[in-house]
A and B are shown apart, each in its own frame.
Chain A
Amino acid sequence: MNSRSDVPTNENFEPVLTQNLKLPGSEKIATYLSVGGYQAVRKALSLPPDEIIDMVKRSGLRGRGGAGFPTGTKWGFMPNGKDVPKIVAVNTDEGEPGTFKDREIVEQDPHQVLEGVIIAAYAVGANRAYVYIRGEFFLGVKRWIKAISDAYEFGFLGENILGSDFSLDLSVHRGAGAYICGEETAMLESLEGKRGSPRLKPPYPASIGLFGLPTLVQNIETLACVPHIINRGSEWFSSIGTAQSKGPKIFSVSGHVNRPGNYELPLGISLKEIIYRHAGGIRNGNRLKAVIPGGASTPILPAELVDVPMAFETLEAAGSALGTGAIIVMDETTCIVEAVRRLSKFFAHESCGHCTPCRIGSHRIYEIMDRIEKGQGHSGDIDLLLNLVEGIDGNTFCPMGSALVNPVRSAIQHFREEFEYHITNKNCLVKTQIPK
């Protein structure tokens, strides 16, 4: 399989974010130091903070947590000066179904992220950082804590880092199992010990964040890119990828492929190449049916669109989104109705309950999906679903409510006959077609 010729192929692409993962004891500070770790911090501390922000801006790095906001621009939003304490909050919540890249980085190479945190904190003038980590990441919590205490020992954290006048303290806070706490303002509430519910924006965290202080919230993978930008330069980073999507990206591939897992590849690589070349193609030689290209919040793509380059702009043009880059592959044995029923169960369960359309609407969608799947659907149910999707989309307090509409609407758009079959025949179209 080859990727399309009109997007950069980066045939000689070398993984950087995952390059240490194959080393024995990759999580240890000694290993990290033996491959040149913490050089970037040393270099960064010798540069003025503005220059670092500028480098990150020029690299074209966009957030890897799902929203794809330009990272350097966000750093530039943090207020200047030393009169207000500032904070960096590290988002290790990784709750988006299908996504498991942050976990692997944190478990196997925490120092790479830590180095990114230190550089980011130095660039925006923050002396306090918090890691918010998903409660179920038991190994990740252990690895973060060990990495932090080793970094203190080696002088990468604490007072006067590496003899400079920059100081940074970092501590870890465990979440209690809510998807919404990955949303940056809900995460800040949770960090403050409150109920995980999103805040009204504006004010954005860069002006009023944790404990009312200016706060930079960043995803793990985003921060992992930072030391490499400092070491190799912005031009190196921006030479990888497409016009609006720069750099390496870890794609979590799951579902009906032969080799599920994390694959670090250049942005802009085609979805087809990831599935067939890197993830080993579809299991049992089955036919590809559909793909969710960017985590559960992104619209489902039918197999015909599998040539799409994995970049922010190209996926949007194809009617989906890059999201977290989590690719969920469904082969011909998948009942789309059942898949969407499960997704809607997830979103209904995880709704924080703050706003009407998500709190009640997501539950109504789940109820309708559930009855259709069970062969108890009513004749008007597809219209009812589309009406719910229309009413919810864009009208919720935070982006989460509007995320559920993506799988539902795209599934009806591309696989309407399966919904209709379920409703009319009280049976599953796929099950009748696929011999056991």
Chain B
Amino acid sequence: MGNINFTINGERIQAEQGQTILQAAREEGIYIPGLCDHPALPPEGACRICLVEIEGQRALHTSCTYPVSEGLVVNTNSDRVRASRKFNLELLLSDHPMDCMTCDAAGDCLLQDLAYEYDVSEDRYQGTKHHYSVNDPNPFIQVDRNKCILCRRCVRACREVNGVEAISVFYRGFSAYIGFGADSSMDNSPCEFCGSCVEVCPTGALWPKMSLGEGRPWQVERVQTTCPYCGVGCQLILEVKDNKIIKVDSAWDGPSNHGWTCVKGRFGYDFVHHPDRLEKPRVRKYLLDGKKKPAASKRNPEKEGNPWQWVEVDWETALGITAGKMRQIRDDHGPESMGFLTSAKCLNEENYLMNKLARQVIGTNSIDHCARL
């Protein structure tokens, strides 16, 4: 509960000193539309969609930048406000491809939502539109400047949150566009492909290349999970269509990642459905046959019947062979002959069990972790 009292649409609410009208309204569940504002980013005041009327003030003000003060009387939805918002939306859409039919972002696009809400369909200006080529050669992110509304959420995410500063605005006015590095391609810039820019982009201007044409938001099941890669444990949301992951979003309520993640978490999921992925355990044929290790010169795992051949088995068999071998090494050469290396991809619990296996079951203190290498 804050210490500043003010009024929105006749409703008295409380806010903290230093909050903007939009922040205070959001906390109270009062809807004010906006395109450039994002809860995790500093305000920009660029899109002019969040305009509100403040009693006693001649001009409208952007609620995303206007600080609350005692006794403020705010109207978020007057005719004047709605007309201004519609005006700005009309301008944005007058330089927009309007191809929602085939756009991957349809259904997950703030611009589309607002065009619907404010009933913007015709282009009264019939002026020039941009026709940028969509050809950034990087492997992860499609950059479609034709769909960019220059809200600069991406610029701020990359600069203020990541400190990478790969994205900036080039040129001025109607010719302004977002670009990378020294106006180069993304992979020729300092970009680390964390995809934070994609996550915050309100339109289809930035989209994962791997997800293009794979499905629409209403066709997917959203499954929250923990990233399998490292000990940070980013919370991710998998967008799953027909039992296939088609896109990964980072979860804003993730306690360790707060909505951000890295290139591996966001784009490194192609192994899941990769044909080379091992889904069952395999052992060498000679182990299965209980034979001694044959000479390396005989190695020909592709050949049927070769002692080095990989044979698919069930878990019990595979673990049985492994346990037997480990016991044998310990018995023959002593526990100090063995060392254990655990993985950052394991959970804490798994690493704890590995510790127990090394120290108690085998009896060695030689255990280390890949994160120290």
Q: Which residues of A contact B (CB under 8 A)?
A: 178, 180, 195, 197, 200, 202, 348-364, 367-368, 384, 387, 390-391, 394-397
Q: Which residues of B contact A (CB under 8 A)?
A: 43-49, 51, 58-60, 62, 65, 67, 83-84, 87-88, 91-92, 94-95, 124-125, 127-128, 149-150, 168-169, 171-176
Selected contact of B173 from candidates A353, A394, A397, CB within 8 Å:
A353
Q: Assess whether B174 is in contact with A351, with CB atoms less than 8 Å apart.
A: yes
In the complex, how many residue pairs between chain A and chain B have their CB atoms under 8 Å apart? 98
Q: Assess whether A353 is in contact with B169, with CB atoms less than 8 Å apart.
A: yes
Selected contact of B172 from candidates A351, A391, A394, CB within 8 Å:
A351
Given contacts A363-B174, A364-B125, A367-B125, 8 further A-B contacts (CB under 8 A): A195-B169, A351-B172, A353-B169, A356-B47, A357-B87, A359-B150, A384-B124, A395-B60
Residue pairs across A and B with Cβ atoms less than 8 A apart, 11 shown, are: A348-B174, A350-B172, A353-B172, A355-B48, A356-B150, A357-B48, A357-B91, A360-B174, A391-B83, A391-B88, A395-B48
Question: Roughly how many angstroms separate A356 CA and B148 CA in the complex, as a whole number?
Answer: 12
Residues of A within 8 A of B51 (CB): 395
B174 to chain A, nearest CB (A): 4
Given A364-B127, A367-B127: A353 and B150 within 8 A (CB)?
yes
Q: Assess whether A394 is in contact with B60, with CB atoms less than 8 Å apart.
A: yes
Selected contact of A360 from candidates B43, B67, B95, CB within 8 Å:
B95
Residues of A within 8 A of B83 (CB): 391
Question: Roughly how many angstroms separate A397 CA and B149 CA in the complex, as a whole number?
Answer: 16
Is chain A's binding surface mostly helix, strand, loop or mixed?
Answer: helix
B297 to chain A, nearest CB (A): 66
Question: Roughly how many angstroms separate A221 CA and B125 CA in the complex, as a whole number?
Answer: 41
Question: Roughly how many angstroms separate A282 CA and B168 CA in the complex, as a whole number?
Answer: 49
Question: Roughly how many angstroms separate A192 CA and B176 CA in the complex, as a whole number?
Answer: 21
Question: Roughly how many angstroms separate A222 CA and B84 CA in the complex, as a whole number?
Answer: 37
Q: Which residue of B lies closest to A194 (CB)?
A: B168
Question: In the complex, which of the residues A348, A354, A362 has the most CB atoms of chain B within 10 Å of its own CB atom?
Answer: A354
Q: Which residue of B lies closest to A391 (CB)?
A: B87
Closest 4 pairs (CB-CB, A-B): A353-B176, A351-B173, A391-B87, A394-B59
Q: Which residue of B lies closest to A392 (CB)?
A: B87
Q: Assess whether B84 is in contact with A395, with CB atoms less than 8 Å apart.
A: yes
Given A353-B176, A359-B173, A364-B91: A397 and B124 within 8 A (CB)?
no
Given A348-B173, A395-B51: A361 and B91 within 8 A (CB)?
yes
Residues of B within 8 A of A349 (CB): 172-173
A429 to chain B, nearest CB (A): 25
A204 to chain B, nearest CB (A): 13
Question: Roughly how many angstroms separate A359 CA and B175 CA in the complex, as a whole number?
Answer: 9
Residues of A within 8 A of B125 (CB): 364, 367-368, 384
Q: Assess whether A356 is in contact with B173, with CB atoms less than 8 Å apart.
A: no
Given A353-B169, A367-B127: A397 and B46 within 8 A (CB)?
yes
Residues of A within 8 A of B175 (CB): 353
Residues of A within 8 A of B150 (CB): 353, 356, 359
B104 to chain A, nearest CB (A): 24
Q: Assess whether B60 is in contact with A360, with CB atoms less than 8 Å apart.
A: no
Question: Roughly how many angstroms separate A363 CA and B60 CA in the complex, as a whole number?
Answer: 22
Question: Roughly how many angstroms separate A195 CA and B172 CA in the complex, as a whole number?
Answer: 10
Question: Roughly how many angstroms separate A391 CA and B169 CA in the complex, as a whole number?
Answer: 25
Q: Assess whether A200 is in contact with B43, with CB atoms less than 8 Å apart.
A: yes
